[in-house]
Amino acid sequence: MGTGDHQAAEVLVRRHQRRIFGVAFAITGDRRVAEDVAQEAFLRIWRHAANFDPARSVASAWMARIARNLSIDHLRVRRADPVDPATSLALAERVRVADTVESEVARHDGADRVRAALAALPQAQRRALVLASFYGYTATEIAAVEHLPVGTVKGRIRMGLQKMRVALNTEGWER
Amino acid sequence: MTPNCEIGCAGFEDELPLLALGCLTGRERATVLRHVESCASCASELESYSTGLDALMTVLPPVDPPGGLAERVVERVRAEESGRRAPSGRRRPVLAVAAVLVALGIGIGTFVATRGTAGPTVAVGTLHSVSGVASAVSGRVVLTSAWGGRLEMQLDGGPTTSPVTCVVTLADGRRRTVGTFWLHDGYGTWTTGLPAPVSGVRAVSIEDAGGRTIAATRLL
């Protein structure tokens, strides 16, 4: 790798660091951990950039997904120890707190529409969807936390995603 | 259901969103993926759910990271690049010894790579059931000196009703418990701190709740 490549890496990080760090911080809730995750995410992005297929995904979404998956890996470690169910359920509310945050994304039309669609879901569906999407909970884990049959949780996640798809279908769900 | 769909799609409708979200265990994931590969309709549905996840991620607000993130990433890129230029012949004797250990029936597939002086030391091992264990436990472990020393484990086929304990054996024979973990439907992943330098770890094993080793790998 030459000097020019290093400069390219630096440009890549500077351009996307707020987004990648934001994903990691929202999920892990810890700035130190989020920075570790963000560093690792950028390394993976850099390593695998040649394999990225623009026909299958938008680059920013692909990068956010890498940060999300690494953040969830970290959370799963923490969940290896017994966790008070109230703590797990509080996670699902954390994203809602962000609803009130005046931020770059809050002013962004696309994110606003997604947030509105998410907020319009019945609470039970939204909670299951948030726990699975942002915190990587399996249906079995959510079922244990919420004292519900696994099938009920799976149905809530599917219904939640489907309702969001209907709500956003004409406004950008499909690329 | 498409003409080439051999299994009913209805049985997978709740699983597709979970697959897109990465929330299925190893075996569930394999089952659903097999179906998706033979069903264009479900493949399309899966793609749509994946796009949905991308859309969901946009609600997470951008946040300013600590200063110097870009410099630290570039530093790690440089370190990684210098490690990639390390002599490639290093792994050969390791693999030869690993082959002998496999022949002994311990169940091993391992390498250790020192990625140059500036890069992290990484060791990768494949866990297999040890002799005498009925269940087919398998897994993969990565040890890295990065982040102050981390152990990343992925395990499948383990006990479903009791926890497992991860133990590392050091070069001097001492054993250190890394942690005790519950698996979900026999599957689990975890990342945790490493209680010794990567080069000082000789083996990683998984014990059941009764203290019996059910899977192991040697790191050479």
Whether pLDDT at A101 is above 70: no
The β-bridge partners of B184 are B187
In chain B, whose CA is at the least distance from the CA of A16?
A: B62
- For residue A23, which of B59, B44, B36 has the smallest C-alpha distance? B59
Residue ranges and CATH numbers for the domains of chain B are 9-57 (no CATH), 90-218 (2.60.40)
In chain A, whose CA is at the least distance from the CA of B75?
A: A6
Judgement on whether residues A174 and A93 belong to the same structural domain of the protein = yes
pLDDT for B64-79, tens place per residue? Answer: 999 999 999 998 888 8
* Dist CA A133 CA A131 (whole Å): 6
Judgement on whether residues A68 and A13 belong to the same structural domain of the protein = yes
- For residue B28, which of A65, A57, A154 has the smallest C-alpha distance? A154
Q: Which residue has the higher pLDDT, B108 or B20?
A: B20
Judgement on whether residues A110 and A161 belong to the same structural domain of the protein = yes
pLDDT for B5-40, tens place per residue? Answer: 445 788 888 899 999 998 887 778 888 888 888 889
- For residue A95, which of B195, B76, B167, B56 has the smallest C-alpha distance? B56
Q: Which residue has the higher pLDDT, B26 or B62?
A: B62
Supply the pLDDT for residue A160: 93
Judgement on whether residues A74 and A135 belong to the same structural domain of the protein = no
B149: left (phi over 0), alpha (psi -120 to 50) or beta: left
Confidence of residue A170 (pLDDT cuts 50, 70, 90): very low
Locus of tokens 């987004």: A19
Contact A164 B56 (CB under 8 A): yes
Q: Give yes or no for a contact between A158 and B14, defined as CB atoms under 8 angstroms apart.
A: yes
Last residue of some domain: A81, A104, A139?
A: A81
Last residue of some domain: A59, A81, A103?
A: A81
How many CB pairs below 8 A link A and B? Answer: 182
Contact A43 B76 (CB under 8 A): yes
The pTM of this model reads 0.61
Residue A155 domain boundaries: 83-175
Q: Is B185 on the interface with A (CB under 8 A)?
A: yes
Q: Which one-letter amino acid corresponds to residue B31?
A: T
pLDDT for A10-66, tens place per residue? Answer: 888 999 999 999 999 988 888 998 999 999 999 888 888 777 777 777 888 889 999
Whether pLDDT at A73 is above 70: yes
Domain count, chain A: 2
Judgement on whether residues A77 and A93 belong to the same structural domain of the protein = no
Residue A135: CATH number of its domain: 1.10.10.10
Contact A10 B184 (CB under 8 A): no
Judgement on whether residues A42 and A120 belong to the same structural domain of the protein = no
In chain B, whose CA is at the least distance from the CA of A2?
A: B78
Percent of chain A beyond pLDDT 70?
74
Q: Give the CA dihedral B47, B187, B181, B125, nearest 10 degrees.
A: -100
Q: Which of residues 99-158 of B touch A (CB under 8 A)?
A: 147, 152
Supply the pLDDT for residue B98: 32
Judgement on whether residues A48 and A127 belong to the same structural domain of the protein = no
Q: Is B27 on the interface with A (CB under 8 A)?
A: no
Judgement on whether residues A17 and A71 belong to the same structural domain of the protein = yes
Judgement on whether residues A70 and A105 belong to the same structural domain of the protein = no
Q: Which residue has the higher pLDDT, B95 or B122?
A: B122
- Give the 3-state secondary structure of residue B123: strand
Judgement on whether residues A135 and A146 belong to the same structural domain of the protein = yes
How close is the nearest chain A Cα to the Cα of B200, in Å? 23
pLDDT for B116-165, tens place per residue? Answer: 344 567 777 788 887 666 667 888 888 877 777 788 888 888 887 788 88
Q: Give yes or no for a contact between B69 and A35, defined as CB atoms under 8 angstroms apart.
A: yes
Last residue of some domain: A60, A81, A102?
A: A81
* Range B79-96 average pLDDT: 47
How close is the nearest chain B Cα to the Cα of A133, in Å? 6
Contact B55 A57 (CB under 8 A): no
Query: Which ipTM did the prediction report?
Result: 0.81
